Amino acid sequence: MKSGHATTMLAGAITTTVSAFECTQSAFEAVIPSNTSVSLVQDVAQNGTFEVPASDIAYPTSPTGLRALCAVQIKVPAPGNTTYEFGLFLPDEWNGRFLAVGNGGFAGGINWEDMGAGVGYGFAVVSTDTGHNSTALDAKWAYNELEELENWGYRALHGSVVLGKQIVESFYGEAPAFNYYTGCSAGGKQGFKEVEEFPDDFDGVVAGAPAWWTSHLQLWNGKVGLYNLPVDAPYRLNSSHVSALAAEVLKQCDPQDGVTDSIIQDPTRCRFVPETLLCTSNATNTSTCLNAAQIQTAYQLYNDWVIGNQSFVFPHFQLGSEAQWDLLVLGDAPSTLMTDYVQYMLQLGPDWDWRTDWDDEAIVALSDAINPGNATADNYDLGPFHARGGKLLHYHGYADGSIATGSSVYLYNQVTQTLRPRGVDVDEFYRFFLVPGMQ
């Protein structure tokens, strides 16, 4: 992986071939800060495979069919005697641009698979492990580890981007011409956090279905399950009932755009009447109809979560999202996205029990007060990102049954209400798209 320096114009993009930088541990050690270290170096041949370390439990899939590249993993010290790591894919033929990819849920691990997609377009690509090693549904690592929470919340990505750019410049002999970010779900939240707090990190950000409202979303992830518990309650919906709801929603809402194509164009324009599924007194198959109590459960799921004096906490599932309700609604306990969050991120401990200890108002107030890891991306003033010429592309699927689509609508409205009174043309730098049928 050593050759003469050359630049050529290919499809309108500059391609740079790496010059005089060996893909070796010693070569990287010579250009990184003395308090950091190299954990891994792999030289990947054209059309080759990067072998993901066995310890990366969140992203175990090894990307294949890669461009010829140098892969390196760097370990960085952080406050509180913590560390985080990041990986870089550095292609032999580079398009002169830098790309960061995001993570998902509570996951700790380098997202090598998504890095592989980016490097296919010639980007130098970075991903962070966010400072720990876990799956997306496991937050036990956060208990009594407040600095690790900060790493997860924002610190590891920002630090990885800053040092990653420096390594890219040393490797290729020139700085990236443009810097981009892409991520969905928790990765979408990471993108918004970067735009809000570190506007100089990226020229362009693509944020899909952002899990931006950490302090409320994680609680809602459990609240929608609590609506449907315990499992022996007369109001309990099972998978057959949810399938019946999904079919009836499609029947009532799909034709409203004038085309019956199994896609609901805009569920907010549909007045759904679930009572059409009410079981008759002589019904023999109650798996395809709902009793009155189950109808009320459906109404709870299709309406915003409010507490106290009608205080808004989080938006509702959209009509058409039912196909994904299994994770949050149909379990025999609330999702660990809520229980792990409360026990280990809010620091209430493993003895906290959703059956006896849940209180809407108290838990929301505590979550707002703590905001674990400062992860919530609720700085709606994107003025600095706009002023430096940044571009933001934000999308969310109407059929998302994991992160309520309305949370993105709320975020977009908060940003526009912050910037437009100042005369900022929001559409000039921030575009938001709601996608029919997308989960």
Specify whether 136 is located in the same domain as 38. yes
Specify whether 10 is located in the same domain as 157. yes
Q: Is 338 exposed, middle or buried (0-12, 13-18, 19+ CB in 10 A)?
A: buried
CA–chain centroid gap for 9, Å, is 35
Specify whether 51 is located in the same domain as 197. yes
Closest by CA to 112, choosing from 88, 136, 92, 93, is 88
The count of residues in the chain is 439
Specify whether 92 is located in the same domain as 207. yes
**How many whole angstroms separate alpha carbon 384 and alpha carbon 198?**
9
Q: In the chain, how many domains are there?
A: 2
Specify whether 194 is located in the same domain as 333. no
Half-sphere exposure of 363 (CA within 13 A, CB side): 25
Spell 301-329 as b/e; 16+ CB within 10 A means b.
Answer: bbeebebeeeeebbbbbbbbbbebbeebb
Where is the domain boundary, 330, 352, 373? 373
Answer yes or no: is 159 within a domain: yes
Q: Which residue has the tokens 């570190």?
A: 198
H/E element holding 128?
A: strand 124-128
Specify whether 319 is located in the same domain as 420. no
Specify whether 184 is located in the same domain as 293. no
Q: Tokens at residue 429, please?
A: 């730098």
Answer yes or no: is 1 within a domain: no
Answer yes or no: is 84 within a domain: yes
Answer yes or no: is 60 within a domain: yes
Q: Tokens at residue 229, please?
A: 């518990």
Q: Which amino acid is at 337?
A: L
Answer yes or no: is 360 within a domain: yes
Q: Tokens at residue 56, please?
A: 């990366």
DSSP string, 404-416: -THHHHHHHHHHH
Show the DSSP H helices in 184-267 as ranges: 186-197, 214-226, 239-253
Pair type for strands 37-44 and 13-17: unpaired
Residue 78: how many other CB atoms lie within 10 Å: 16
Q: Tokens at residue 375, please?
A: 């992860």
Q: CATH no. for residue 208?
A: 3.40.50.1820
pLDDT for position 20: 63
Specify whether 120 is located in the same domain as 160. yes
Answer yes or no: is 335 within a domain: yes
**How many whole angstroms separate alpha carbon 166 and alpha carbon 141?**
30
Specify whether 346 is located in the same domain as 272. yes
Specify whether 12 is located in the same domain as 34. yes
**Domain with 415 in it:** 6-214+375-435
pLDDT tens across 125-135, in order?
999 999 999 99
Q: What are phi and psi of 118, to 5 degrees?
A: -65, -40
Q: Which residues of the chain have pLDDT under 70?
A: 1-20
Specify whether 110 is located in the same domain as 170. yes
Specify whether 232 is located in the same domain as 298. yes
Show the DSSP H helices in 30-155 as ranges: 112-119, 146-150
